[in-house]
Structure 1
Amino acid sequence: MEYRTVGKTGVKVSSLCFGTMSFGGGADKETSKEMFHRTREAGINFFDCANSYSNGAAEEILGECISDCRDEIILSSKVYNPMSADINARGLSRRQIMLEVENSLRRLKTDRIDFYFVHQFDPTTPMDETLRALDDLQSQGKILYPAVSNWAAWQIAKALGISAKEQLARFELIQPMYNLVKRQAEVEILPLAQSEQVGVITYSPLGGGLLTGKYGVDKMPALGRLVEDEAYTKRYSGQSNYEVAELFSVHAKERRIDPASLAISWVMSHPGVTAPIIGARNLEQLNAALASLEIKMTKEWREEITKLSVAPPFATDRTEEIFRPLSSEK
């Protein structure tokens, strides 16, 4: 296992992070614990969770798993999503953050969360209120580092600016979606992270199963997240996504590599990515994800795979400026 430093924190994490969204949902408690122990055997020390995963059950199961190794693992959780029907049981207000961190600590059976993510952007709460609440939690030792998921690059940059100006704890870790068919993070989020030395753990490296070899232009399994989950069906509904999936599957099979393993390895090879988040509902899926560690991805091979999908547009329309060499002429 390779270990990488998260931004400027000095914290070293495994090059794969294990996401526990399936705990208490797609995976029962026994299977969840089996997967946890398998990841530990593989050298993974980084585990990602959220208060809303299985409505708190994922944190409870993960809390049981880490009870005898808490100081050896890096733990993250999140706040934002609704936790009940109550009108205030959601968002990033100081009130909600302070309530939910206590609930997460109780379920996780720990005294601190290493990286505490704001799960989504909250347009109803001033950004500085959210940042000050996170700063207070860091001062109290209940979280070690604030982190951010699913924000646009401009929102993250604005937050970093406020934190610097007001001397608040800044976001030290970003969690964006990133895979071969969803490459928007390449445009601004990953360059921002590299510029500001912020760690990045990316989710959905398999595109909800799209890049596992089970999907193609005229190929659709009877069961699977893209079939059963409306949100994923909509997210990957474009015909071009299935065309890329088919090309990628052929590429992987020509090299006798499991497409799932290769898809994760491709994400892991981006210089701005600290660790992809892998998830699984059973040991078979988990072992395929762990096999990505055995793939030696070269720069040339990564470029070959990258060409299978369409690059996202540049952040500026002045593309002629991007490719024009610097000149001393006025």
Structure 2
Amino acid sequence: MDYRPLGKSGLKVPVLSFGAGTFGGAGPLFGNWGTSDAIEAGRLVDICLEAGVNLFDTADVYSDGASEEVLGQAIKGKRDAVLISTKTGLPMGDGPNDGGSSRFRLVRAVEDALRRLETDHIDILQLHAFDIATPVEEVLSTLDMLVRAGKVRYVGVSNFSGWQVMKSLAMADRHGWPRYVANQVYYSLVGRDYEWELMPLGQDQGLGALVWSPLGWGRLTGKIRRGAPLPEGSRLHETASFGPPVDEEHLYGVVEALDAVAEETGKTVAQVALNWLLQRPTVSSVIVGARNEEQLRQNLGAVGWNLTAEQVARLDDASAVTAPYPYFPYRRQEGFARLNPPMV
């Protein structure tokens, strides 16, 4: 397993990390992701550690805290060997202070997460969404307090826009508060919006991408084909409305390109899709999920080899879409491109 710096920090993270959204699954979304109990979760954790995957990502909102609880049980006796990443900010109830990033909410959320995880610190705490109702100064000064208290080591964000990240970083620099070093983002061969603004921002400001849903919400597993119905048992039957939309014709074109590269490399479609992400700028770690040991071992097969430059270029071409304004001139017109060359 290779390790990379998490953005502009001294923390090294594995290029693959494990998403614990499948732990303790309950409800219409998370119940379809997976329902691993502590025993099964412990086995998956052991397989990860054997392979060098020591970063485990979760969130308080995953199954209403059950994911954190099961993860905490699964890593008992192994805490010093693992890194825990969790997220907070999305509502955990109907009360006026049950969501957001106010000082009241963040302090309580961290205390609750520490209790569920059965640990005394969180290695990477990420804000799950931007809270427009709370001043950025309040958010960052609270994170500074939590870092100084030793309850949080590093901070990051998820699902922020570029201006929201940049405003926060500028405020952190002004006051000497901890800077965000992680940006947990959706990025896949059928969802390349990250490249238009957030990737250049990450390169410029030192944020490492932690990639969620790298297989396009389950669409790039190799089971979906043009002209064929969704396979029985696919979670897309129940969860497609929760995830990012994908144009079907675009999806089929990407899958056909993946099929060709998979045949050339002797790898699976999913392994090729994951390996493509590992070669993209700013990516620190790709978060993979698994409902069982077989899925996990398949995902672990995405490392230890690399696509050729020609194979990457073919996948790039098959997955390319026109960027929205103001980004498309920088991709299509020579004068713009000379001033702002694309990163990929």
TM class by shorter-chain length?
over 0.9
Q: Distance in 2 between matches of 1:177 and 1:276?
A: 10
- Partner in structure 1 of residue 337 of structure 2: 323
Paired amino acid for 2:296: L
Counterpart check, 1:28 vs 2:28: no
Contact kept? 2:42, 2:75, Cα under 8 Å? no
State the SS of the aligned residue for 2:180: coil
Paired amino acid for 1:83: M
- Partner in structure 2 of residue 142 of structure 1: 151
Counterpart check, 1:302 vs 2:312: yes
Q: Distance in 2 between matches of 1:307 and 1:180?
A: 10
Q: 2:271 aligns with which of 232, 240, 261?
A: 261
State the SS of the aligned residue for 1:308: helix
**CA RMSD across the alignment:** 1.9
Any idea what the Cα deviations from partners look like across 1:82-118, whole Å, max 9, x if unmatched? 2123232111111111111000000111111011000
State the SS of the aligned residue for 1:209: coil
Contact kept? 1:213, 1:246, Cα under 8 Å? no
Contact kept? 1:211, 1:249, Cα under 8 Å? no
1:181-330 superposed matches below 5 A: 181-219=190-228, 220-232=230-242, 235-236=245-246, 238-313=248-323, 315-316=326-327, 318-319=329-330, 320=333, 321-324=335-338
Contact kept? 1:93, 1:125, Cα under 8 Å? yes
- Partner in structure 2 of residue 11 of structure 1: 11
Deviation at 1:318, TM superposition (A): 4.0
- Partner in structure 1 of residue 31 of structure 2: none
CA gap 1:312/1:166 in 2 versus in 1, 3 angstroms? farther
Q: Distance in 2 between matches of 1:230 and 1:112?
A: 35
Q: Distance in 1 between matches of 2:337 and 2:274?
A: 30
Q: Distance in 1 between matches of 2:173 and 2:152?
A: 19
Deviation at 1:224, TM superposition (A): 1.7
Contact kept? 2:257, 2:315, Cα under 8 Å? no
Which ranges of structure 1 fall in alignment gaps of 5 or more residues?
A: none
CA gap 1:257/1:125 in 2 versus in 1, 3 angstroms? same
What's the TM-score, normalizing by structure 2?
0.89
State the SS of the aligned residue for 2:157: strand
State the SS of the aligned residue for 1:21: helix
When structure 1 is superposed on structure 2, of 22-31 and 12-21 the one drifting more is 22-31
Q: 2:180 aligns with which of 171, 175, 183?
A: 171
- Partner in structure 1 of residue 29 of structure 2: none
What's the TM-score, normalizing by structure 1?
0.92
- Partner in structure 2 of residue 2 of structure 1: 2
State the SS of the aligned residue for 2:218: helix
Counterpart check, 1:92 vs 2:106: no
Which ranges of structure 2 fall in alignment gaps of 5 or more residues?
A: 26-33
Q: How many residues align?
A: 326
State the SS of the aligned residue for 1:266: helix
Any idea what the Cα deviations from partners look like across 1:171-210, whole Å, max 9, x if unmatched? 0111110000100111121121111222221111111111
Deviation at 1:308, TM superposition (A): 1.2
CA gap 1:281/1:233 in 2 versus in 1, 3 angstroms? same
Deviation at 1:127, TM superposition (A): 2.1
Deviation at 1:233, TM superposition (A): 5.9
State the SS of the aligned residue for 1:243: helix
When structure 1 is superposed on structure 2, of 173-182 and 90-99 the one drifting more is 90-99
Q: Distance in 1 between matches of 2:294 and 2:263?
A: 18
Q: Distance in 2 between matches of 1:244 and 1:171?
A: 33
CA gap 1:9/1:160 in 2 versus in 1, 3 angstroms? same
When structure 1 is superposed on structure 2, of 172-181 and 84-93 the one drifting more is 84-93
Any idea what the Cα deviations from partners look like across 1:292-320, whole Å, max 9, x if unmatched? 01332233322221111124516435433
Runs of 4+ in 1 over 6 A off after TM superposition: none
Counterpart check, 1:117 vs 2:131: no
Paired amino acid for 1:295: W
- Partner in structure 1 of residue 59 of structure 2: 50
Q: Distance in 2 between matches of 1:258 and 1:201?
A: 22
